[in-house]
Structure 1
């Protein structure tokens, strides 16, 4: 699976930073001995420990003026061994890599080997297609018009020449400079530009020029391949419960070069960010150019090279942020720079229950106002350890299969005092994941773009159909199977009739129909619930930002309650 979103939802980061003058977080890993806290404010330490108990597992680094204010770690780096996260634990930083690629471009501009107004085709004469017309500046700001992905998977062995050919074959969404479309392919093209202009391999140039902190110490390395990141690695946990990719892929790596692939500790990410924006890595002129608002995204946000800038209209002070996550490693990372305070916050997580961005969304507003820090929204879990036989019996009673009159179905399983509900069919998916506000219109538009893709109406769609045919047999039909919105991503599930059997998959596409993430085959969407203590079950969501639904049993039937009504499914097994 690929998650290609910029993931810039950390708009509450300034609130976090404004309240961190003393220091947050003392690590409290689960299933492992405590790691000593380091100069962390007791108020934040207490709150973060509560979030760790609700599922946050990761590392936090906060600095001001280059001085470390806090290093904190929580949870386990490896559940199989019980090894705890520590401030020295290494995490994949995903799309935060783009900030390093952008810095490499500006370093080459300083060296006189590159101009921001150079067209990609001038630097790379072998590049064909519309991508050749895009300038370096446009690629940095995602305004080059590139649409879709140049690789089918992060772990597809993709060589340099094949990557160039794939990028050159992408159909443009618009003429360069005439719009905005977030593009991983654009940053891989920038990595190819860096390689050509520097005369070194992309990795060698990053290692020698960009991944260096003041004093010469290296700031991380690559999750896969050389130069490898040093230090103990966190094992990610994917949404389906399996372990994330541990590294060790043999390459070649051009599916992610430039747009992902780097890994480091949060201490190093914070130190690198401070060095970048204070002129210790590049010139102050280059640092200012990277932080200067570029393409206007609306709502006080602007794209900058490798970052997103937020103006003072949100919290009274401008800041920059970038984030990355998803994919097959199972990590989520976010970092922010507050120029007025010379402050950096860097957070990484290796479990999906509470991501780095989830944590900041939850605690940021209270930190901004100086109010009491919120604790996780956790429903009573009587019976989770078998102490309350009645509650345990209630959980067992709801386990089974249920069917809606309109044809959809639910399968309910239980473990450790929780129940997990899988939804099959558009009606069941909508009942379990109801759209809110304008998202219903967004979902319909997304559904239409996914169907157009799989009908082969675009070049990328024809490639996708060929890939599906090769994997499953001739395609005979595609039907919508429900749409889920959450975490800034829309996933449209489809049932693909191919060969001799139906295959369930999901797609996430951008507004121009380009694939941003996909998983085929996949499991039906599912949601975990916990008892609420009044005969109902509510989502197991510590942040309280999940679907507004609850479950209950009525005459052995499953009742799904939402703000707009209820759906009743009769027990069938």
Structure 2
């Protein structure tokens, strides 16, 4: 069943060049809850069944939810609903890799072949750092996975995948460019980073993310699932937009091993905001490693990508964080460089027509949260 197969964003979602968010100046500012609802309503009007927003500035946190979490039952969206946060997973995984570098258990400039001999024909010519910042040239595996699943009977979206199988989809292809000479977002990079973490620690990646990040920050609503195809309650259902005049398709349930270290994480807007706040204020990494994480490779006119973290321009300055999109869910999470302000918006539709509107709402709330 091809349209039940998982997909995910293969590039970092960003504000469209030249996009100007609605004016923020008002003679009498509305109550904060009205402001958040105003930013979310266009996301639902653009097609998402429901949406959640969180804005945190200093010690003040505001949340709002609009629309529907479950089209089958009519349950309303709740600000505490769990969602799949997709490629926000990459920042968590990068933190673990940088912690291991701090402990001198690996070096960011180690060749991939040192830890994963033979995984790729050119593994000795790419480094862990180049995987983390997408300058490795390793091709994207996900298109191949989708093509494979389209030929399979039954429910291939529920099948378990080993990381080496995912890398195997592109192991026979040449690199997109010599390592270090270009930039191209590739989920395969993070599948490889996850494999290296497991090789270094002799533990499952999920266990390392739990121990080093989730448990450390007490992110009680965040999980790194392996074969769990359902979401913890309360949860929004996730939907795929099949086009005008057609009801969205429920794609909530699938096996997250197809996403692994690239995009498997499940969380809430509150936990995601807390994660980026603690990361950027130095509670997860020593200053030298955090500085390396925030050393950005510039690409696509003003955009930047560090080690598992992105930088986007907004009308009020740069925002740092990540976007995540997997079947049924799209999440945008950004913070000020000092970590004092966070904005997170999650919607339960992907692919969907609301993506651009959602990005504009993030910019509007980010610039209005100071």
Tell me the equivalent position of 1:188: 191
- The 1:366–1:237 alpha-carbon spacing in structure 2 relative to 1, beyond 3 Å, is closer
Give 2:103's aligned residue: 111
Q: Is the 8 A contact 2:15 2:359 kept in 1?
A: yes
Query: Whole-Å Cα distance in 2 between the matches of residues 265 and 132 of structure 1?
Result: 38
Partner of 1:101: 93
| Aligned match of 1:483 | none
1:344 alignment partner, SS class: strand
Where structure 2 has 5 or more consecutive residues not aligned to the other structure, the ranges are 150-156
Is 2:137 the counterpart of 1:145? Answer: yes
What's the TM-score once normalised by structure 2's chain length?
A: 0.80
Distance 1:131 1:338 in 2: 36
Shift of 1:160: 3.9
Give the equivalent residue in structure 2 for 1:361. Answer: 360
Conserved? CA contact 1:213–1:275, under 8 Å: no
The structure with the greater share of residues assigned to helix is 2
Q: Among 239, 245, 252, which residue is 2:251 paired with?
A: 245
User: For the structure 1 residues 92 and 369, does the alpha-carbon distance in structure 2 shift closer, same or farther, using more than 3 Å as the test?
Assistant: closer
Partner of 2:152: none
2:80 to 78, 85, 88: 88
Question: Once the 2 structures are TM-superposed, how far is the Cα of residue 193 of structure 1 from its aligned partner?
Answer: 0.8
SS at match of 2:240: coil
Change in CA separation of 1:44 and 1:77 when aligned onto 2, cut-off 3 Å? closer
Quote the residue 2:323 is aligned against.
323
The answer to whether 1:5 aligns with 2:10 is yes
Q: For residues 210 and 87 of structure 1, what CA distance do their matches in structure 2 show?
A: 23
Q: What does residue range 4-403 of structure 1 map to in structure 2 within 5 Å? A: 4-10=9-15, 40-46=32-38, 48-49=40-41, 52=44, 55-56=47-48, 57-65=50-58, 67-149=59-141, 151-153=144-146, 155=157, 157-214=160-217, 216-222=218-224, 225=227, 230-240=232-242, 241-247=247-253, 249=255, 253=257, 255-293=258-296, 295-310=297-312, 315=315, 317-325=317-325, 327=326, 329-340=327-338, 342-351=340-349, 355=354, 357-361=356-360, 364=363
What are the Cα deviations for residues 362-381 of structure 1, in whole angstroms up to 9, with x where unaligned? Answer: 684698599xxxxxxxxxxx
Distance 1:5 1:161, change over 3 A: closer
* Residue 60 of structure 1, CA deviation: 1.1
The change in CA–CA distance for 1:71 and 1:101 in structure 2 (over 3 A counts) is same
Cα offsets for 1:242-277 (capped at 9, x unmatched): 43332353x7x2x31111111111111111111111
Question: Corresponding residue for 1:498?
Answer: none
Measured at CA, do residues 367 and 212 of structure 1 come closer, stay the same or move farther in structure 2, by a change above 3 Å? closer
**Number of the residue aligned with 1:389:** none
Q: Tell me the TM-score normalised to structure 1 length.
A: 0.54
Using the alignment, how far apart are the partners of 1:351 and 1:364 within structure 2? 19
How big is each residue's C-alpha offset from its partner over 1:36-76, in whole Å with a ceiling of 9 and x where there is no partner?
xxx834344345446545644121111123x3421111111
- Mapped contact 1:212–1:219 kept (Cα < 8 A): no
Contact 1:237–1:351 (CA<8 Å) still a contact in 2? yes
SS of the residue corresponding to residue 296 of structure 1 reads: strand
Given that 2:229 and 2:254 are in contact with CA atoms closer than 8 Å, whether structure 1 keeps it comes out as: no
Secondary structure, counterpart of 1:59 in structure 2: strand
Pair 1:316–1:238, CA change in 2 (3 A): closer
* Cα distance in 1 between the residues matched to 2:95 and 2:362: 31
1:366 to 1:319, Cα distance in 2 relative to 1, 3 A? closer
Distance 2:99 2:65 in 1: 33
Q: What's the C-alpha RMSD, in Å, of the aligned pairs?
A: 3.4
Deviation at 1:114, TM superposition (A): 1.0
Give deviations 1:441-462, integer Å, cap 9, x for gaps.
xxxxxxxxxxxxxxxxxxxxxx
How far apart in 2 are the matches of 1:147 and 1:46? 40
Larger strand percent? 1
Count of matched residue pairs: 343
Deviations along 1:157-213, one digit per CA (max 9) or x if unpaired, are 322443454453332112111211211111111110111112211111111112235
Q: For the residues of structure 1 that align with 2:11 and 2:53, how far apart are their CA atoms?
A: 20
Is the contact between residue 6 and residue 324 of structure 1 (CA under 8 Å) also seen in structure 2? no
1:298 deviates by: 4.2
**Secondary structure of 2:110's match?**
coil
Structure with max Cα Rg: 1
SS of residue in 2 equivalent to 1:306: coil
**Secondary structure in 2 aligned to 1:182?**
coil
Q: How does 1:442-521 map to 2 (within 5 A)?
A: none
Alignment of 1:410-421 (within 5 A): none
- Distance, in Å, in 2 between the alignment partners of 1:345 and 1:279 is 19
Are the structure 2 counterparts of residues 357 and 218 from structure 1 closer, same or farther at C-alpha, using a change threshold of 3 Å? farther
Distance in 1 between the 2:164 and 2:292 partners? 31
